[in-house]
């Protein structure tokens, strides 16, 4: 008995396939690419001195954005990393030199709870898959969607830059109402900007 695959199920399948391709990438090549992407970011992502940029501590086979974050810090950015508070909420805690880092769950680490909580003006967004319209598939927990919605509600919509490898691109991400479109995605091919339709 055949039935229509729901957007949620289709996303799950696309996520699994894209992450499989990402996991298969050579780890030494990934290091090279992380450094190249940091150079691209330094050349193409403008930040004002003191502007708050959220990055993320790489887990599993994600792009290592640490060189990229430090390149932006050299341009004057204040850095922060996501901290998971509970099953639905992340906040962004300031990352400063010498700050103690603690386990954050999901194999990531970040600043401890005494660190300042900041509202990022620029968000480097991890993702499992994306399409040529800038639609993304996250990891399924919805943390970033909710964090972005909260900033939009406060009248502070952040500049969103997805971070991925080219192999994570899929033909089309199934649309759902709550989806956040990512206008820019940085991969090893460079910074791609999508026209928001």
Q: What is the CATH number of the domain that holds 98?
A: 3.40.50.10420
Q: Is 136 annotated as a binding residue?
A: yes
Annotated ligand binding at 139? The verdict is yes
Decide if 61 is inside a domain. Answer: yes
Task: Please tell me the total count of domains within the chain.
Answer: 1
Residue 74 lies in a domain: yes
133 labelled ligand-binding: no
Q: Does a structural domain hold residue 96? A: yes
Domain of 66? 7-193
Give the DSSP letter of residue 87.
Answer: S
pTM above 0.85, yes or no: yes
137 annotated binding-site participant: yes
Is residue 1 one of the residues assigned to a domain? no
Known binding residue 15? Answer is yes
Render pLDDT for 83-116 as a digit per residue (tens, 0 to 9): 988 888 899 999 998 888 888 776 778 898 889 9
Give the count of alpha carbons within 13 A of 159, CB side only: 13
Q: Is 172 annotated as a binding residue?
A: no
161 labelled ligand-binding: no
Q: For 110-128, what is each residue's pLDDT tens digit?
A: 898 889 999 999 999 999 9
Q: Does 134 count as an annotated binding residue? A: no
């Amino acid at each position: 008995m055949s039935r229509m695959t729901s957007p949620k199920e289709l996303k799950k399948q696309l996520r699994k396939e894209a992450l499989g391709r990402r996991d298969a990438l050579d780890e030494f090549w990934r290091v090279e690419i992380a450094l190249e992407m940091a150079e691209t970011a330094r050349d193409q992502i403008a930040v004002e001195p003191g502007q708050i940029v959220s990055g993320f501590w790489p887990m599993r086979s994600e792009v290592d954005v640490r060189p990229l974050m430090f390149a932006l810090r050299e341009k004057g950015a204040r850095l922060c990393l996501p901290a998971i508070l509970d099953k639905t909420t992340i906040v962004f805690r300031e990352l400063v030199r010498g700050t103690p880092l603690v386990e954050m769950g999901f194999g990531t680490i970040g600043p401890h709870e005494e660190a300042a909580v900041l509202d990022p003006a620029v968000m480097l967004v991890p993702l499992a898959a994306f399409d040529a319209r800038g639609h993304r598939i996250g990891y399924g927990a919805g943390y970033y969607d909710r964090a972005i919605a909260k900033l939009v509600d406060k009248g502070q919509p952040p500049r969103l830059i997805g971070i991925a490898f080219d192999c994570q691109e899929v033909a089309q991400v199934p649309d759902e109402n709550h989806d956040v479109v990512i206008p820019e995605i940085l991969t090893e091919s460079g910074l791609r900007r999508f026209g928001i339709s």
